[in-house]
Structure 1
Amino acid sequence: MSLLNLNRIGKNEDSEREKMVPCLPENKAMANAMLADQLPSPHHTIVTTGDCEKPKPNPATVSCRKFWPRRLGYTVYIDILTTIVFFVIFVSIELGVIPQRKLGFRCKDPTISFPYTGDTITLTILLLGTYLGPLIFIVLIEIVREKSFKDVRIGIIWDHYKELLIGVSFVIMITEVAKAMLGEHRPHFFDVCRPDANEGCAEGVFVVDYTCTNKEYSSWLISDASKSFPSGHSSISVFASLFTAYVIQTRLPSAATGRLFKHFLISICLSWGILCSLSRIADRRHHWWDVLSGTVLGILGVIFFTTIFHQKQKCKLQRTSEKSISSTMLLDVKNKTAASARV
């Protein structure tokens, strides 16, 4: 048989094999090697097609793509846009653009007669602990997993942090809507508002029509004095702490750090949520049932979002395993064919 005929046979076999195997460089090399083993001529000819040929990637580009994804999917932009919309609604409610329901009170009510002493954990500290703290933990976890900063993939960090951002926005939205629709006077309501109807009325009389007379505080703080239910500090901090603890538990390998260190990090996260919640009661900024409702809201939110996120990661792992199995099966076919040809 001439070499030309052998090349024709090789092209026909290669065309049939392309229909069965995806046109990948490594699969093409395996298929050509299988064909070469079956040729009876001592001069083996490896046939390749130009369609599958790809230039060798630049090593610098490969390492850069491993660290930073080539492009973000359109769903990422939708998530970012949704988060911005949530933030705008949150600011509108806080600034009074979206009006809240005006609540009445009972004269001389001792539960809302505490002095206003400020916040142990301010809004700035809360936001830093909610947004910056989990990001630091997620990055450190990935560095420990990869044992090198260069091998850390931004895509994985973004997947986890994106879910945190969406979850926090979801919890904030529910909290703010509940504050505007339901609301409740804070324990320091009388001290901040100083309603005119509270001076001459009898104890226990319910007052609906009143006007706040305190000029020492801003209008925002006076309006905020009637937004006690539920506790936003509790719902946000509990969600962020539990979600970060979930990431630590699922992503941080115990073999690299030991179980004690992992539990230590988880305890730090949980302590943050507990500290923020209890400080609201100690500062007389919330009633205990406000803090409890905020904690429950944060727990329900983290259960919902971690369940969805875990299912997403499971599907990604399953698709990766299927691709790996396909490559392994192709390699097994090649080895069996080569062994039978030698026999």
Structure 2
Amino acid sequence: MAVDRIIWKIILDFFVLACVSFPLLALMLWVKPYERGYFANDTSILLPYKEETISVGAVAGAGFAFMAATILTVEFTRDRQGKGVGEKFLSGSVLPGWVWESYQTIGVFTFGAACQQLTSDLAKYVVGRLRPHFIAVCRPYPIANSPLNSLGYIQDYICADNDGDRIKEARLSFPSSHASFSMYCAIFFIFYIQVKGKWRGSKLLRHGIQYAVLLTAWFVGLTRVQDHMHHWSDVTVGFLIGAIYACLVFVYVLKPKKYSALPMTWEEPQVPTNAPVLPRAVLAR
């Protein structure tokens, strides 16, 4: 029965991940972003197009690989130190405790990453904010004498550029998914190392690594502004989304056992039989 519970737990975990991931795929394949208009004198969308410094694949690959390597290393080390959760049995085979703990932690991290990504991408498609290089990519031509353009806000226009994918991406500025995911990874890593990555060799080494990871996430967000991919407010909101999801997922979903090495039951201290017995104090009435 225990084996069945573990197998069903794994199946349900993957089912939940699929339920969160499918809307992400649907947004990318079948949903068109809101086609927002623009002001003719809006200089914030007149910046030239530049190739991005850090691609989506690079951020996602590096973030997942870094977190998976960190979790596997920490859980294996804790198991060697006698701080693991104990062995599990799966289909008649013994599963090391650090493997099961790593699976759970990586699964929770992946679930949180999918949730924050869905939140960011949904906002992108609903808001449809134009990227700073929108004019350079779209090269819009307003429709003459259109009543929708009579107040100076251009809503009726066509793009001279025929690259549909690039024009679609130019409408997905708010918020920054790069900033959201990178900050999510950084905060999750900081919390995880703070709770489980204990090492007495140096007081500042762990905090130095945490700062370096946070600075890396900060740099990723700055490159999005530098590359004319996002407005500064897009990156700011992306940072907030990632940080909020990391805190919520780590505290309320992962729920790490910080004090697992402490005794689980209270034991009364043993008093020697030959110790002198003192009289109890008389309670005042």
TM-score when scaled to structure 1? 0.66
Q: What does the per-residue CA deviation read over 1:95-139, in whole Å, with 9 as the maximum and x for residues that have no partner? A: 3x0232111111142100111111111011111122111111112
Distance in 1, matches of 2:49 and 2:5, equals 50
Runs of 4+ with >4 A deviation: 198-202
Structure 1 residue 251 displacement after superposition: 0.8
Matched residue, 2:20: 86
Distance in 1, matches of 2:255 and 2:73, equals 24
Distance in 1, matches of 2:174 and 2:133, equals 14
Aligned positions, number: 252
User: Which of the two has greater strand per residue?
Assistant: 2
Distance in 2, matches of 1:281 and 1:200, equals 36
Contact 1:178 1:230 in 2 (8 A): yes
Distance in 2, matches of 1:312 and 1:137, equals 15
What are structure 1's unaligned runs of at least 5 residues? 1-68, 333-343
Matched residue, 2:252: 308
Matched residue, 1:56: none
Contact 2:105 2:254 in 1 (8 A): no
Q: Is residue 179 of structure 1 aligned with residue 124 of structure 2?
A: yes
Q: Which has the larger radius of gyration?
A: 1
Q: What does the per-residue CA deviation read over 1:182-229, in whole Å, with 9 as the maximum and x for residues that have no partner? A: 120000000111111299999x921111121213x4x22210101101
Matched residue, 2:273: none
Matched residue, 1:117: 50
Q: Tell me which amino acid in the other structure corresponds to 2:43.
A: P
Q: Tell me which amino acid in the other structure corresponds to 1:93.
A: L
Out of 221, 233, 258, which is 2:166 matched to? 221
Distance of aligned partners of 1:199 and 1:130 in 2 relative to their CA distance in 1, 3 Å threshold? farther
Matched residue, 2:228: 284
What are structure 2's unaligned runs of at least 5 residues? 82-94, 271-285
Matched residue, 2:33: 100
Distance of aligned partners of 1:200 and 1:234 in 2 relative to their CA distance in 1, 3 Å threshold? farther
Distance in 2, matches of 1:251 and 1:291, equals 30
Structure 1 residue 284 displacement after superposition: 0.9
Q: Is residue 168 of structure 1 aligned with residue 101 of structure 2?
A: no
Contact 2:131 2:172 in 1 (8 A): yes
Q: Secondary structure at the match of 1:300?
A: helix
Distance of aligned partners of 1:312 and 1:249 in 2 relative to their CA distance in 1, 3 Å threshold? closer
Contact 1:107 1:198 in 2 (8 A): no
Matched residue, 1:208: 155
Distance in 2, matches of 1:234 and 1:198, equals 36
Distance of aligned partners of 1:312 and 1:73 in 2 relative to their CA distance in 1, 3 Å threshold? farther
Matched residue, 1:248: 193
Q: CA RMSD in A?
A: 3.1
TM-score when scaled to structure 2? 0.78
Q: How does 1:143-158 map to 2 (within 5 A)?
A: 143-147=76-80, 153-158=98-103
Contact 1:248 1:265 in 2 (8 A): no
Contact 1:231 1:291 in 2 (8 A): yes
Q: Tell me which amino acid in the other structure corresponds to 1:279.
A: T
Q: Tell me which amino acid in the other structure corresponds to 2:237.
A: S
Distance in 2, matches of 1:175 and 1:141, equals 30
Matched residue, 1:140: 73
Distance of aligned partners of 1:77 and 1:147 in 2 relative to their CA distance in 1, 3 Å threshold? same
Q: Secondary structure at the match of 1:187?
A: coil
